[in-house]
Amino acid sequence: MNKLFRNKYGYFDPEQHEYVITRPDTPRPWSNIISNGTYGMTITQAGSGYSWIEHAQFNRLTRWDQDLTRDNWGKYVYIRDEDTGKSWSPTPKPAGIGKLKDYECRHGLGYTTISGRCQDVQSSITYFVDSKSPVEVWEITLKNLSRKKKNLSLFSYLEWSLGMAPDWHREFDKIFITTEFERKTGIFWATKTRWALPDPSGRPWARPYEYRGFHACFPKAVSFDSDQRSIIGDLGENQAPKCVVTGKLSKLQGRCNDGVASLQTRVSLRGGQTKKVVFVLGGTKTAAEARRIVARYGKPGAVDKELAAVKGLWLGLLGQLQVKTPDQSVNLLVNQWLPYQAISCRMWGRSAYYQTGGAYGYRDQLQDSLATLPLNPKICRDHIKRAAAHQFRDGTTLHWWHPITDDGAKKVNSDDLLWLPFVTARYIQETGDKAFLNEVVPFYDKGKGKIREHCRASIEQVLGRPSPRGIPTIVEGDWNDGLSCIGFDGTAESVWLAEFLYGILNDWCDALAYVGDRQAEKDIKRYKREAKRLATAINKYAWDGDWYIRATHANGILGSKKSKIGKIFLNAQTWALMYGLPTPARKKKMLAALNKHLYRDYGPLLFYPAFSKPDPGIGHLSQYAPGLRENGGLYTHAGCWAIIAEAIAGTPDRAFKVFNSFNPIARGKKPDHYYAEPYVTPGNVDGPQSPNFGRGGWTWYTGSASWMYRALTDYIMGIRATTDGLVVDPAVPASWKNYTFTRKYRGATYTFTVRNKSKGAVKRKVSLTMNGKAIKGNRLPIANKGAKVKVDVVVESA
């Protein structure tokens, strides 16, 4: 077996597409976030985690508390040897630590398997979420390693949340829960009479919880319990609950218990024999649907069939873009982990360990959906429509909105609305789906409009709020949420926003030109003019000598040489470079300044130096400890833009160096320093002003997954979609001599074989042949649907 990037805690198994954890005491919980788009669960290497349906805060199925050290909340299983009375759990938590030998945890695509051995029983528990239905499955394979017959009891234990999470006032919340064991089907039901969400009728306190939780097992349960005290025991702990000590559950159910669930099932194993036990847990609107699901899993072979379907779905989706480069970490990230993180966690689950979410962030999932473009652009298309439906007629949008209640916060961030045309333009580049621009979607407040009208409303709204110098105002903040107060008096200018708008105007003009009708022509004229005007204003007012400032505000400038704190900000440089705003001379200075001030050992800092005390004139980033999150650490999401900026600026070796400085797999080589999972991106890494400089945190739930994916595929490997075809513009390091890249584009499959002879030169020349025919320039003609296209690429110094 190929064990890649082995460290003290684990390694990558590329054949199985898994990350394998070999000891449970990882520096932080190392989790998997599994979702089918509706139902989701988190599962850590310790076996802990929680589950939800559609919205992890509004519709949480099981209780959980965020505790990165103890990691002691979950849905657990205990195994009891009925002959000896000895017990343990098949996962480290709650009762496996110190008992479970040969521990291993395999996080895969849509599932996690934890295995070990105790009391001569080999156990392996696989957790996965059904590919379509709102249910998770725990399949436990047990093997008797001894010659003697073993009589085992298995007990599950979980606490129902059923609705709003956290239910911090448990004594109150549990009063609404009813549990009922249905003998015929073996289903242990849980319903709740209250859902702490507004009732559509307007009546206070009227909304019942609209789902029913269900829990069942095979072989069918022999006993059950819903009362915490009788399960765990007085002053008991979940390492050794009373039921496991005595081997009994007390069959309490009804309305007046604790609203938890425990099922007991029995299995006997002859010496050497292997058997499977299956637990299912889920939530449906009707009992009939749950019964159908449970019955399905009661059939022999059902679990294996569904698990194979789940794996197949992921491999099929991610298989749409595959690369083979000299750098194994890039292959692992691009072929599997980054798009998996972006889709399973960010788009579908919208929740993780460090952040329990559930809502759609206006800008967030739009950016995440970029990861789906080369894989299944329909996911992006559907999301653009979802986002357009949460926009007001005047172009402003909800800052985030909640599925289920469909309401949200109307906070006027200056950038939220612009991500709609930004992503729509990219969707058009990918698909050429012109008709989409004329698809009609309702506005959130009144009326409806075509997608292009939604995008137009976004652009017009931002164009309509310039400062006297023609730079857009930041209003209640821009991409950087931490600049929450800077725009309080309405006068602050955002230079980053100006650059962002400049790029969008040009991109949007491309999309409009592609449509090519009269309205489009009119808009193009105006937007080209506005773009020019913006570029002039940026270059006139925002240049600080060696870099661009980030913003102006009532008390001065953010991101100037003269500033004591926050002298230089990353985003104001990266976006200017991405959109080619500086002159060559300025560009040179900026690249040098980035290298000098912001590119540090563990990734590009969001700005430097960090705030050490709160500044109410700036916002909450100044309240964070110095070097953490948006306060001058590596904010991974923005760090990815530095990779893109360097690639576009024509500095390929630097682009790769920047990437590698926070490449999670490379950082995972020193896990006791880095802490975070090596297989996904962290939201942030502590900056130099933190005593933990280099420590990663806030993993999984970060917009960086999608951006790192696109940075590697579109800009480093340099194969990207435009409205008129795929462009080939590699910016790979000199050390990469060859790589292959396969992706779909408008229904055809393109396989690129790239030879790099450029030695990392700034000026490069690309020669292309397509199916053996030489192509002029670096843009490929669009092939017919279904075609298989072979492209040979040679990159040389120019």
- Between 259 and 482, CB nearer to ligand GLC: 482
Q: Which stretch binds ligand GLC (CB under 6 A): 73-81, 243-251, 361-369, 749-757?
A: 361-369
Smallest gap from Cβ 460 to ligand GLC, in A, equals 23
Burial of 660 (0-12, 13-18, 19+ CB in 10 A): middle
Smallest gap from Cβ 483 to ligand GLC, in A, equals 8
Instruction: Answer for the pair 134, 116: CB distance below 8 angstroms, yes or no.
Output: no
Smallest gap from Cβ 478 to ligand GLC, in A, equals 8
Q: How far apart are CA 418 and CA 793, in angstroms?
A: 35
Smallest gap from Cβ 364 to ligand GLC, in A, equals 5
- Between 225 and 481, CB nearer to ligand GLC: 481
Cβ count near 199 (within 10 Å) = 12
Q: Which stretch binds ligand GLC (CB under 6 A): 194-202, 480-488, 562-570, 757-765?
A: 480-488
- Between 348 and 479, CB nearer to ligand GLC: 479
Count of residues interacting with ligand GLC (CB under 6 A)? 9
703 sits near ligand GLC (criterion: CB under 6 A): yes
Q: Convert residues 235-264 into a mask of x (bound to ligand GLC by CB under 6 A) and - (unbound).
A: ------------------------------
What is each CA distance from 517 to 458, 467, 505, 524, 531, in whole angstroms? 20, 32, 17, 10, 21
- Between 339 and 619, CB nearer to ligand GLC: 619
How is 378-401 classified by DSSP, letter by letter? Answer: HHHHHHHHHHHTTB-TTS-B-SEE
Among 306, 308, 282, residue whose Cα is nearest residue 75:
282
Instruction: Answer for the pair 705, 699: CB distance below 8 angstroms, yes or no.
Output: no
- Between 482 and 487, CB nearer to ligand GLC: 482
Sign of CA dihedral 495, 499, 500, 504: positive
- Between 238 and 636, CB nearer to ligand GLC: 636
- Between 89 and 480, CB nearer to ligand GLC: 480
Which phi and psi (to 5°) does residue 521 adopt? Answer: -60, -40
Burial of 237 (0-12, 13-18, 19+ CB in 10 A): exposed
Smallest gap from Cβ 648 to ligand GLC, in A, equals 21
- Between 423 and 512, CB nearer to ligand GLC: 423
Instruction: Answer for the pair 265, 222: CB distance below 8 angstroms, yes or no.
Output: yes
Among 480, 573, 631, 699, binds ligand GLC (CB under 6 A): 480
364 sits near ligand GLC (criterion: CB under 6 A): yes
**What residues does 755 pair with on adjacent strands?**
738, 794
Among 29, 74, 163, 482, binds ligand GLC (CB under 6 A): 482
Q: Which stretch binds ligand GLC (CB under 6 A): 44-52, 359-367, 670-678, 783-791?
A: 359-367
725 sits near ligand GLC (criterion: CB under 6 A): no
- Between 312 and 614, CB nearer to ligand GLC: 614
Among 10, 40, 108, 361, binds ligand GLC (CB under 6 A): 361
Burial of 474 (0-12, 13-18, 19+ CB in 10 A): buried
Q: Which stretch binds ligand GLC (CB under 6 A): 106-114, 118-126, 147-155, 473-481?
A: 473-481
If you count DSSP H runs as helices and E runs as strands, how many of each does the chain have, helices first? 20, 42
Burial code of 283-300, b = ≥16 C-beta within 10 A, e = fewer? bbeeeebbbebbebbbee
Smallest gap from Cβ 692 to ligand GLC, in A, equals 20
Among 130, 453, 476, 481, binds ligand GLC (CB under 6 A): 481
Q: Convert residues 651-690 into a mask of x (bound to ligand GLC by CB under 6 A) and - (unbound).
A: ----------------------------------------
What 3-state class would DSSP assign to 507?
A: helix
Q: How far apart are CA 134 and CA 146, in angstroms?
A: 38
* Residue pointed to by tokens 């969707």: 427
Q: How far apart are CA 597 and CA 144, in angstroms?
A: 60
- Between 87 and 684, CB nearer to ligand GLC: 684
Residue closest to ligand GLC, measured at CB:
481
Among 19, 188, 479, 508, binds ligand GLC (CB under 6 A): 479
Q: Which stretch binds ligand GLC (CB under 6 A): 34-42, 219-227, 379-387, 475-483?
A: 475-483
Smallest gap from Cβ 413 to ligand GLC, in A, equals 8
Among 624, 689, 710, 790, residue whose Cα is nearest residue 333:
710
Instruction: Answer for the pair 387, 365: CB distance below 8 angstroms, yes or no.
Output: yes
**What residues does 604 pair with on adjacent strands?**
599
Q: How far apart are CA 504 and CA 531, in angstroms?
A: 9
Which residues 487-526 are close enough to bind ligand GLC by CB under 6 A? none
- Between 363 and 695, CB nearer to ligand GLC: 363
Which residues 589-648 are close enough to bind ligand GLC by CB under 6 A? 630
Smallest gap from Cβ 444 to ligand GLC, in A, equals 19
Residues found near ligand GLC in the complex (CB under 6 A): 361, 363-364, 479-482, 630, 703
